[in-house]
Amino acid sequence: MARIIFWFKRDLRIEDNRGLQAAAAASSEIIPVFVFDRRLLLDLDGPETRTGFLVASLAELDRKLREKGSRLYCFYHDPEKIFERLIAELHPEAVYTNRSYSWSGERTQKKVERLCQQKGVDFRDFNDSLLVPPEKIEARKVYTSFFRLWLSALSSEEVSIAMTPESLKTPLLKLPSLSDSIKELPHKINRYWEPDYALKRLKEYDFKRYDRDRHRLDLDGTSRLSVALRFGLVSVRQVFRQAIKKLPTDSQFVKELAWREFWYHIRHHFPLTENLEFQEKRRGLRWLNRDEDIRAVEEARTGYPLVDAAIRQLKQEGWMHNRARLIVASFLTKDLLIDWRTGEKLFRKYLLDYDEVVNTGNWQWSASVGADPRPLRIFNPQLQAEKYDPQCRYIKKYLPELKKFSCRQIHALELPGYHQPIVDHRSALIRLRQVYLSKA
Nearest to 4 by CA among 22, 21, 29, 25: 29
| Residues near 19 by beta carbon (within 8 Å), at least 6 away in sequence | 6, 11, 96, 97, 98, 124, 125, 126, 128
Evaluate if pTM is beyond 0.85: yes
Mapped onto helix, strand or coil, the DSSP state of residue 7 is: strand
| Residues near 244 by beta carbon (within 8 Å), at least 6 away in sequence | 251, 254
Beta bridge partners of 4: 30, 94
Q: How confident is the model over 319-362, as pLDDT tens digits? A: 999 999 999 999 999 999 999 999 999 999 999 999 999 999 99
Q: Does residue 97 have a pLDDT over 80?
A: yes
pLDDT category at 45 given cuts 50, 70, 90 is low
What one-character DSSP code corresponds to residue 166? S
What are the DSSP calls for 85-127, one per residue?
Answer: HHHHHH--SEEEEEPP-SHHHHHHHHHHHHHHHHHT-EEEEE-
Is the CB of residue 395 less than 8 Å from the CB of residue 324? Answer: no
pLDDT, mean of residues 186-196 = 86
What one-character DSSP code corresponds to residue 34? E
Tell me the C-alpha to C-alpha distance, in Å, between residue 269 and each of 135, 136, 163, 263. 8, 11, 32, 10
Q: How far apart are CA 166 and CA 134, in angstroms?
A: 31
Q: How confident is the model over 155-188, as pLDDT tens digits? A: 888 899 999 999 999 999 999 999 999 887 888 8
pLDDT category at 375 given cuts 50, 70, 90 is confident
pLDDT category at 373 given cuts 50, 70, 90 is confident
Q: Which residue has the higher pLDDT, 172 or 1?
A: 172
Which pLDDT value is given to residue 69? 96
pLDDT category at 252 given cuts 50, 70, 90 is very high
Q: Does residue 401 have a pLDDT over 70?
A: yes
For the chain, domains (ranges, CATH) are: 1-127 (3.40.50.620), 130-161+199-269 (1.25.40.80), 280-437 (1.10.579.10)
Q: How far apart are CA 230 and CA 220, in angstroms?
A: 20
| Least confident residue range of 34-48, 57-71, 218-232 | 34-48
Q: Does residue 440 have a pLDDT over 80?
A: no
Which pLDDT value is given to residue 367? 96
pLDDT, mean of residues 242-248 = 95
pLDDT, mean of residues 99-124 = 97
Mean pLDDT of the chain: 95
